[in-house]
């Protein structure tokens, strides 16, 4: 069994999706379950986790509606305003949706580098564990120090770092990233998604070797029990096909035992997100 723990759906809107610039015109269109399903079948992927791309509760409802109608969507990582005064009430509301597994905030886009350390945001994070919700950490290497401070405060909360925290594959400068990733990996409640690799690379000139150093680091510091596969489709289409994104990690983890490969490709994601058949 294989699970894609990180992909997106959207109905393209020029205002809502303003982050998709002209350089990214290949993804300036709708991407829906009917687009993904054949790719999953072709690559022997049995299910996926749909992750928010827009910061609104409308986005959360949109993904939940897609998950209700498409059984291969095993879980949803939505958005809720974790800084809201009524956060407890909103989380209580969302507990009725079995496929809603957790939440994410696009911290990498916040102007304040200390956003994660704000009292209101941390209040929201503190409420998640009560309702068994996970939290996806979307950041750049410069945020890793604060992310480590955040996860240290909530040892019972389940966290996962998206896209390895986006190492600088283009310039191959991993110093800040490696220091930060080694530090945050010391916290056992943090996992890491091996996802979005090509998105941070030179879209036109990457090779699989570009990712080996960082894959070696995360495999060493997190161990196979805290890593999971994610495609970051369709954003990954900026640089690679779905199959090519799979091939990078398929080749890298092919040297691992069958049991360890099963953890990486499915079991870790299933356990982390509590996915059901």
pLDDT at 195: 97
pLDDT at 11: 96
Calculated CA dihedral for residues 188, 189, 194, 200, nearest 10 degrees: -110
Which residue pairs, CB below 8 angstroms and at least 24 apart, start in 184-187?
184/144, 184/147, 184/148, 184/151, 185/218, 185/221, 185/222, 185/226, 186/148, 186/221, 187/148, 187/151, 187/152, 187/155, 187/159
DSSP H helices in 154-257: 175-184, 212-222, 242-253
pLDDT at 223: 98
pLDDT at 264: 98
Burial of 187 (0-12, 13-18, 19+ CB in 10 A): middle
Which homologous superfamily is 3-273 in? Metal-dependent hydrolases (3.20.20.140)
CB 63 within 8 A of CB 79: no
pLDDT at 217: 98
Backbone angles phi, psi at 191, to 5 degrees: -110, 175
* Digitized pLDDT (tens) for each residue of the chain, 277 residues in all: 899 999 999 999 988 898 999 899 999 999 999 999 999 999 999 999 999 999 999 999 999 999 999 999 999 999 999 999 999 999 999 999 999 999 999 999 999 999 999 999 999 999 999 999 999 999 999 999 999 999 999 999 999 999 999 999 999 999 999 999 999 999 999 999 999 999 999 999 999 999 999 999 999 999 999 999 999 999 999 999 999 999 999 999 999 999 999 999 999 999 999 998 7
Terminal Cα-to-Cα distance of the chain (whole angstroms): 11
Can you read off the two tokens belonging to residue 58?
């409308």
pLDDT at 277: 77
């Amino acid at each position: 069994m294989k699970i894609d723990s990180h992909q997106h759906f959207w109905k393209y809107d020029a205002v809502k999706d303003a982050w998709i610039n002209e350089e990214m015109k290949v993804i300036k269109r709708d991407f829906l379950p009917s687009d993904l399903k054949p790719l999953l079948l072709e690559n022997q992927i049995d299910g996926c986790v749909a992750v928010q791309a827009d910061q609104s509760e409308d986005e959360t409802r949109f993904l939940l509606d897609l998950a209700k109608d498409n059984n291969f969507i095993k879980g949803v990582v939505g958005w809720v305003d974790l800084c809201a005064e009524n956060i407890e009430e909103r989380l209580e509301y969302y507990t009725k949706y079995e496929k809603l597994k957790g939440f994410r905030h696009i911290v990498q886009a916040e102007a304040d580098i200390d956003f994660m350390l704000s009292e209101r945001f941390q209040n929201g994070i503190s409420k998640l564990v009560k309702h068994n919700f996970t939290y996806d950490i979307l950041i750049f290497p410069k945020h890793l120090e604060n992310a480590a401070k955040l996860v240290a405060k909530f040892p019972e909360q389940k966290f996962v770092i998206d896209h390895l925290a986006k190492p600088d594959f283009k310039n191959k400068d991993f110093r800040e990233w490696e220091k930060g990733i080694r530090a945050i990996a010391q916290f056992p409640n943090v996992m890491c998604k091996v996802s979005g690799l090509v998105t941070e690379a030179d879209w036109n000139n990457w090779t699989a070797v570009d990712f080996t150093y960082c894959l070696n680091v995360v495999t060493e510091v997190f161990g196979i029990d805290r890593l999971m596969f994610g495609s970051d489709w369709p954003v990954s289409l900026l640089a690679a096909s779905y199959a090519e994104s799979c091939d990078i990690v398929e080749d890298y983890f092919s040297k691992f035992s069958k049991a360890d490969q099963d953890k990486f490709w499915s079991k870790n994601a299933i356990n982390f997100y509590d996915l059901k058949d």
